[in-house]
Homo-oligomer: A and B are copies of this chain.
């Protein structure tokens, strides 16, 4: 087959995958994981049930694929936020703020069962490690420039940061999330108490 034809097929497959994942995520958010069926997903996605099974074996597999795509998208957002900012202090702030806003947004979608299901996924652990590494490197940069405290290891400070910012899920507004980022960053400033 000519290359163009292959590309057309690939694009079509990717579009079907995307539509199926988005439909499934919306259905699960509405009804909960337990009650969504493959037939319902096929119908709502506008494809045949047999076709759907060529793409995914079950609802869980679709949801994991969707979640993997979400996580990848979130990490990309953080990398973009980092690379758009000027200087170490601004870079760290931009990443923390982007992460806090994502935490606020994601929290709303999660019931505890769904969250437990998704967080058994190995991809989550890997993404958390990459995220932790990214924040740790930015913190280390801030320690070198003297903007952040050097009495605690950057890895520990990164762990503190990421947990503190999950508070965003309990906060009502973006303004509150920005205040949270301010407080979280303030905790990492050099300790001037004698």
Q: How many copies does the complex hold?
A: 2
Distance in Å: Cβ of A103 to nearest Cβ of chain B = 10
The size class of the interface chain A forms with chain B is 20 to 34
Is residue A61 contacting chain B, with contact meaning CB distance below 8 A? no
Are B184 and A160 in touch, CB under 8 angstroms?
yes
Residue in chain B with minimal CB distance to A184: B187
In whole angstroms, what is the CA distance A51 to B187 when docked?
Answer: 54
Residue in chain B with minimal CB distance to A116: B116
Are B184 and A171 in touch, CB under 8 angstroms?
no
In whole angstroms, what is the CA distance A38 to B192 when docked?
Answer: 58
Q: For A187, what are the chain B residues with a Cβ–Cβ distance below 8 Å? A: 164, 183-188
Interface 1/0 per residue, A108-131 and B, CB below 8 Å: 000011011001100000000000
Q: Which residues of chain A have a CB within 8 Å of any CB of chain B?
A: 112-113, 115-116, 119-120, 149, 152, 156-157, 159-160, 162-167, 170-171, 176, 179-180, 182-189, 191
